[in-house]
Structure 1
Amino acid sequence: MGTLVGHVAPGFGFFLIGLWHLLNQIKLHAAHPRSYTSPPWFAASRLRYAELFAIMAGCCMSVAMELFVGPSRHQPLDSDWTIPSNHLHNFEHSLISASFFTYAAFAIVLDKTLTGPKTAKTRNGLTQLIGAVAFGQQLLLFRLHSTDHMGVEGQYHLLLQAVIVVSIATTLLGIAFPRSFLISFVRSVSILFQGVWLVIMGFMLWTPSLLPKRCFLNLEEGHDVVRCHSDEALHRAKSLVNIGFSWFLILITAFSVGLYLALVKIYGDTAEYQSLTKTAGLDEEEEEEEDGGESDDVESQKKIKFGETKSFIHVGNSKNFAALDIER
């Protein structure tokens, strides 16, 4: 980070993961509204761990860029093997990438180790917890960043931290409420928003023609920082950042809800239906365990009086029907 590419590249990664989750969450909920349970990640059709492998590959590239490719000597340490001041932010950024690499790696390990329906809740919960730790690490390092974030760049990072807080909160809530579509929906949108905002930061902070009036790029400690000629120019620049964030918040909200409406129209027709001819045995017990003791199928929960079965028609048993006078 600290450059245009350093923000745009990871931002594009967050955007793709957020969009991937958003599409799959909506599709899953539209097709299975009654049995919907949000997974922490989504398996691809051809390569099951494609999402997790992509996260791991992106994190490895990020660490390599921060610690070995970016520094002029292609290693971040000083001659006495200490960390120089101008490379502190490189280590901080690489730790964020390492946290998400840990999440993806353990997601694969947990999926291979904890198999079977009885361990699904524990597996998904632990994966969500590690994801929340990764977001927490991201928030902590951005909050306590060694780089001076008091100016325009600081305003961008402050608003980014607000989005990260939403990602942390919804990830933790997803552990307790895995069947809540709204929690999963907001989490996916927040990840997508992180990506969009990082891309915007990259272009707006390191493209001279896009800088606010009376602001300029100044080389400090090995990387360019936005500075303004006066306090008035700085306050104006921060206000422009707030306005831009508000515009993108509206646009992403409209995009997400519009995408939901479009996908529900496409996949909603394939929504699952439960037969009312279930026997009063194993199927009802499985429903109670899955739904927390209460079935979502309202019709199947109705009690049939006088020993009637749950099927629509019980062939061959005329006692279940009142006599009908056809002529009348």
Structure 2
Amino acid sequence: MGSFAGHVVPGSLFLVVGVWHIWCTVVRYASDPNSFRVRVWNPVPGFNGKLEYLELYVISIGAFVDMCIELLYSPQLKFFVNGVLNPHHLNDFEHGGMLLMFFVYGIVVLLSEKTSFLPLPEGALCLISAAAFCAEYLLFFFHSTTHKGLEGHYHLLLVFLVAFCLLSVVAAALWPASFPVDLCSGIAITLQGLWFYQTAFTLYGPTMPDGCKLERNEGTCSSHDHVIHGQLLANFQMFGLVFLVLVGVVGSYIIADRRYGKSEFGMIHMKPVDGFHEQL
């Protein structure tokens, strides 16, 4: 089934990257809407360029550490039992494969941005990111079919969020000048990180619904009614997180426009269109 830390660690990575992506997107658009372009990653300014690639380091190192935990620490190097792949840790091996894709994505983008060995356009980098999200989608899609009840419902909602990430990154490659598409990508990643946290606190923490409990590393509910109640609660939690992120996006845009837009954004919408204002 997993663990509290097993959800919080990847949730933290997605949350940090997603919030950073949202902020950088609104700042770039508020600063110069006419020249806005989609970015699959965003550099950190200042510090003499030493932290410029911090986002890519977070993705690469975070994915690598988490992958080592799944592939090395969890099975305690017992990869094979009686000549076959360790049946008690197949779930860890699956997660390790997914994390490998994010690690490859981070390394490829670093090579593309810092060296001349692999110069790739932004659209190609978006599609490499989409490949990582596709691996994650397939993993959790089939996970949601094997997990039942309340746990399965939380996995199913996670599948929808991963699909949102996948579609938004593909759309970014197709519409490289679209501010809404780039913003949706940050929103999707942020929501995925928050949902990992919500799953951890619900299935392994203090917010387990009434009538349900964690027993032998498996979430069980005492009756069908309690399962339904837990699923409805999960839906409400999802709505709450979506509302929270949207409020954060609006607040971020207001701050970015006032700080970096120099009050010019409002004037853009006041420009005459086909002499309309002249006629008033």
One of 47, 71, 82 as aligned partner of 1:67: 71
One of 199, 213, 216 as aligned partner of 1:216: 213
What letter is aligned with 1:44?
Answer: V
TM-score normalised by the chain length of structure 1: 0.75
Aligned to 2:194: 196
Find the aligned partners of 2:112 and 2:140 in 1 and give their Cα distance.
29
How far apart are residue 145 of structure 1 and its match?
2.3
Find the aligned partners of 1:136 and 1:175 in 2 and give their Cα distance.
15
Aligned to 2:30: 30
What letter is aligned with 1:182?
Answer: P
Aligned to 1:52: 56
One of 78, 81, 87 as aligned partner of 2:80: 78
Find the aligned partners of 1:2 and 1:271 in 2 and give their Cα distance.
49
What is the aligned residue count? Answer: 262
Q: Which has the higher helix share?
A: 2
TM-score normalised by the chain length of structure 2: 0.87
How far apart are residue 147 of structure 1 and its match?
8.2
Aligned to 2:220: 227
Aligned to 1:19: 19
Aligned to 1:100: 102
The 3-state SS of whatever aligns with 2:43 is: coil
How far apart are residue 39 of structure 1 and its match?
1.6
Q: Is the 8 A contact 2:144 2:153 kept in 1?
A: no
Aligned to 1:237: 230
| Consecutive unaligned residues in structure 1, runs of 5 or more | 273-297, 300-328
Q: Is the 8 A contact 1:33 1:271 kept in 2?
A: no
Sequence identity, in percent?
29
How far apart are residue 10 of structure 1 and its match?
0.8
Q: What is the Cα-based RMSD across aligned positions, in Å?
A: 2.2
What letter is aligned with 2:130?
Answer: A
One of 141, 161, 164 as aligned partner of 1:163: 161
Q: Is the 8 A contact 2:30 2:257 kept in 1?
A: yes
Structure 1 residues 18, 181: closer, same or farther in 2, change over 3 A?
Answer: same
The 3-state SS of whatever aligns with 2:85 is: coil
Structure 1 residues 147, 89: closer, same or farther in 2, change over 3 A?
Answer: farther
Find the aligned partners of 2:245 and 2:179 in 1 and give their Cα distance.
18
How far apart are residue 113 of structure 1 and its match?
2.7
The 3-state SS of whatever aligns with 1:200 is: helix
Aligned to 1:318: none
Aligned to 1:282: none
